[in-house]
Amino acid sequence: MSDTSTDRLATDVLAACRSRKLMVVTAESCTGGLVSAALTAIPGSSDVVDRGFVTYTNAAKQEMLGVPEAILAAHGAVSAETAAAMAAGALANARAQISVSVTGIAGPGGATPDKPVGLVHFAARRGDRLLLREERFGAIGRDAVRAASVEVALGLLLALAADEDQAAGEAPGRP
């Protein structure tokens, strides 16, 4: 395996989760499973990675993660609200204590004036802590948007997993 920044981030996420006995679940749309792939590319990841959901369509987001139709109708699939609902739904449907979700427009199509190519929303959840992030990568190319999104998602997981305040007061199980 090459020593890329993504590999290092994934290794750090796994180590932080392992030391705190946290299991991870991912909920991905525009990345199509690349966050899970980055984590599971590291040998020994099975003690940390519970599962990953690839929910590319609105129907999949609703059926697999329980994202309310009202959120999708009001805010669209590419929104902070949908990302937050995806992260919560992933935890509700897994045996994990920490989740990350990614939803965006990798391009080249699918953009609107309000939601350009390269717009990606992220959410990471652990206990009652929710991190939301919006990135506007621009029209840097589909592969580049997806790769950059993986790094942001792993960074959010690492931030939550390494949060000592959470580790001290968190009970096992779902939020």
Q: Give pLDDT tens digits for 96-105.
A: 999 999 999 9
pTM of the model: 0.92
Residue 126: inside a domain, yes or no?
Answer: yes
Residue 37: inside a domain, yes or no?
Answer: yes
Q: Measure Cα distances from 159 to 13, 94, 125, 140, 148 in Å.
A: 9, 20, 10, 26, 17
Burial class (CB in 10 A: 0-12, 13-18, 19+), 95: exposed
Residue 174: inside a domain, yes or no?
Answer: no
What confidence score (pLDDT) does residue 163 get? 83
Residue 112: inside a domain, yes or no?
Answer: yes
Query: CATH number for the domain including 12?
Result: 3.90.950.20
Residue 77: inside a domain, yes or no?
Answer: yes
Q: Give pLDDT tens digits for 30-59.
A: 999 999 999 999 999 999 999 999 999 999
Residue 39: inside a domain, yes or no?
Answer: yes
Q: What's the structural domain count of the chain?
A: 1
Residues of the chain with pLDDT under 70: 1-3, 164-175
Residue 62: inside a domain, yes or no?
Answer: yes
Residue 172: inside a domain, yes or no?
Answer: no
Q: Residue written as tokens 């909920």?
A: 27
Rounded distance between C-alpha atoms, residue 120 and residue 93, angstroms = 23
Length of the chain: 175
Where in the sequence is the domain holding 139, given as residue range(s)?
A: 5-163
